[in-house]
Structure 1
């Protein structure tokens, strides 16, 4: 990432015009200047000029979702994404957090980036859900009293079924067009394995040999967006090693794709890795981005369903990918796409935000659920596992009977002519 020497120049780009305010989730919630991008930039300026990172200052930085909506809205080109990541790295280096908060953060980052640890959790969690113990625990409110973060983690867990294991190679169907590596992800791989299976099938049906390296690990997205730079760099180097010999890398999780496209900056100061990281960033593609570039070949069967499409922040704001998923959905006969009001406002997931700031995240999730429900759609389509869990949880709180699926699952249902009922049944 950028060094501290870049900070004064980046801070000076902000002219405090306020165009960011209507798109900032925390400013929309609370109307507090210091919980807006320009307010946080003012605090960053104070820190750059020598003010120590006080508790209240850090709290305003922690409340930021890092959704990048302000980057999209800014007419001056302020690189707030780089500013908040540098600032969070400063916070991790300089600010002593209270013991309980450190413990919660450490637990999160010792679990979620590690597939084997998540896999070990699957069995007990599945039994917990199947016996109905989850409903009893929620009624008692015991987890809320122990830790709001632990309660949020429990509520967000999707219903777990059997987890299909993917082979290391899925052969192209109907003639070879491309060879791609596929990132399976941590949360995506263990909590939404059906999304990965659908992704591999769609790519194969469109003529791609899909390579799924067995030894792949976390891409580092959660660590990067939380200011844990050394940890993120270690994950990035391992991912570069795993995928650098493939022609293209296809990613189906918005946060992961965004992080991998940033490897070039993350490892820019490392002579041994900068060139390799830049090469990997250049060939990383979101699934929808890749499929639109490749062009459709497989026949689409009709899918008579009305869907609402959700713009994941790290897809729309960080990667600038908005038209591609809509174009793919529009190419399915009899499928109707409805837009969600206020699409630029984050759903509240934001990596680990809904675990570390559960009250604010729940407010944003409820706002999003109201807007999704208002579309009258039967199915919500989202492109990030965090968004899927966050919005599904908020829809359940609202009592809305709307399933959530990934774009890959919708395409898979059409390409394999599974029909509407099968799609909705397999959605989360």
Structure 2
């Protein structure tokens, strides 16, 4: 695709990147066939190819409009198009650049500005979100149906293992997961503890930055990223006082994982943080990548076990963002679980971070379609790998929805624990 960037962005880091991405697109349209919003709306401008043209026009100097902004807002950033694209177009990065430029040119209506600002300020701050979630859970029976779907039932936290091990990994608590599903990281810690790995939480680490980044609060997102790097660095260098340097940074939420793996790119122009950010990204692993290293031990521990039938929903941030496919299914299979993928398992469930709040109609349509396909598998429960997907799906079904690591934790708890060497 030929480009002629306008002077305001030509020669900048964003401009050079955007031009490279645009030139890699051959506008074949394969991406359109797997775009969830195009499937719902049937509008070329609500598919990746159309959005690429809109971004190209804006970067070449055509003034953005409210309609331009609306079409970009409707994108889930699921990156299914990247998995489909034969040319390897980095659509997600182009979209970030396009949204940033468009939001500078087009002022949103007051209601949108207030909603987006509230989400950007409240969700990443655990000291605000946690009490609010607890209050919502206490009052859940009285809440309107739409809000009740966003507020899951309260679950009591379970025990975190207290043993120290020579092998250590950091784990990110994040912002909303500790309040909405406190047992995910505890289950991961117990499973890894049984395999001789200690999970450590850095107290000063917080939101990964994805929430603000996708709300176009770019500088605030970079501040979140730098804070996390500062919080993790003593553990990376082994000077935190707890033992040897950590061997990795574990992500139990795939939405956080895809963001942290991108730290090196996002801070590549920051001389003070570029090298550290690249190191953090290189150390970051999804939970399924970590447990894959222990498949022989898990197979031996769980041999002969028969588990339930579960429907697995692979989050977009895992299968499209991180390009990790098949790992979770294989690990659940070791526990004797009958894992079913539903029809159109490659399509987004409609959660997409704050999308379910900002685009409720489209989000609900995608969720209801996904739920129908998941329930059609005849599964006894639904599992996923991202807190946003879990919460969103649970709001539309009576089947229990939980993180896949909780199934592995439950299976191991039913088996004899091997004696420590």
Structures share fold, TM-score greater than 0.5: yes
Which residue of structure 1 lines up, in the alignment, with residue 374 of structure 2?
372
Residue 161 of structure 1, aligned match among 140, 155, 159:
155
- How many Å apart are 1:2 and its aligned residue? 5.3
1:180 to 155, 165, 169: 169
**What's the counterpart of residue 413 of structure 2?**
416
Q: In 2, are the aligned partners of 1:85 and 1:226 still within 8 Å (CA)?
A: no
Contact 1:307 1:337 in 2 (8 A): yes
Q: In the aligned structure 1, how far is the partner of 2:81 from the partner of 2:201?
A: 35
Task: Say which SS state the counterpart of residue 186 (structure 1) adopts.
Answer: coil
Query: 1:170 Cα shift?
Result: 4.0
Partner of 1:260: 260
TM-score norm. by structure 2 comes to 0.89
2:277 corresponds in structure 1 to 277
1:163-242 equivalent positions in 2, closer than 5 A: 163=157, 170-171=162-163, 176=165, 178-242=167-231
C-alpha contact (below 8 Å) 1:89/1:226 kept by paired residues: no
User: Is the 1:338–1:375 contact (alpha carbons within 8 Å) kept by the matching residues of 2?
Assistant: yes
CA distance in 2 between partners of 1:195 and 1:272 (Å): 34
Q: Distance in 2 between matches of 1:260 and 1:322?
A: 19
CA distance in 2, matches of 1:403, 1:155: 14
Structure 1 residue 288 displacement after superposition: 0.7
Q: For 2:316 and 2:13, how far apart are their aligned partners in 1?
A: 22
Equivalent of 1:320 in 316, 319, 323: 323
Are the aligned partners of 1:268 and 1:274 in contact in 2 as well (CA < 8 Å)?
yes
- Contact 2:206–2:228 (CA under 8 A) maintained in structure 1: yes
Match of residue 30, structure 1, among 41, 50, 61:
41
What is the Cα deviation at residue 163 of structure 1? 4.2
Deviations 1:45-78 (A, max 9, x none): 1101111120000000000000000000000111
Instruction: Call closer, same or farther: CA 1:128–1:329 in 2, change over 3 Å.
Output: same
Change (3 A) 1:227 1:317: same
C-alpha separation in 1, matches of 2:340 and 2:219: 42
Q: Offset at 1:236?
A: 0.6
163 and 416 in structure 1: CA distance in 2 versus 1, 3 angstrom threshold: closer
- 2:400 is aligned to 403
What is the CA-CA distance between 1:226 and the residue it aligns to?
2.7
Corresponding residue number in structure 1 for 2:289? 289
Q: TM-score, normalised by structure 1?
A: 0.87
For 1:328-351, what per-residue CA distance to the aligned partner results, in whole angstroms no more than 9, with x for missing partners? 111113x21111110111000001
Q: Is the 8 A contact 1:53 1:94 kept in 2?
A: yes
User: Equivalents in 1 of 2:327, 2:340: separation in Å?
Assistant: 15
Query: Contact between 1:264 and 1:277, CA under 8 Å: does it hold in 2?
Result: yes
Match of 1:426 in 2: none
Name the SS for the 2:395 alignment partner. Answer: helix
Q: What SS class does the counterpart of residue 325 from structure 1 fall into?
A: helix
How many residue pairs match? The answer is: 391
Counterparts in 2 of 1:29 and 1:295: CA distance versus 1, 3 Å: same
Gapped runs of 5+ residues in structure 1? 139-150, 396-400, 419-428
- 1:74 maps to 2:71: no
* Alignment partners' CA distance in 1, 2:52 and 2:168: 43
1:116-174 Cα distance to aligned partner (Å, 9 max, x none): 11112133112202xx212xx33xxxxxxxxxxxx4x54222111334585xx8425xx
- What is the rounded CA distance, in whole Å, between the counterparts of 2:79 and 2:42 in structure 1? 18
RMSD, matched Cα: 1.9
Q: Give the CA deviation at 1:94.
A: 3.0
1:88 Cα offset (Å)? 1.8
Q: 2:21 — aligned with what?
A: 10
Question: Are the equivalent residues in 1 in contact too, given 2:133–2:151 (CA < 8 A)?
Answer: no
Partner SS for 2:410? helix
What residue number does 2:307 align with? 304
Residue-by-residue CA offset, 1:11-70 (whole Å, 9 max, x unaligned)? 122111111112100001111100000000010111011111200000000000000000
**Alpha-carbon separation, structure 1, partners of 2:230 and 2:404:** 28
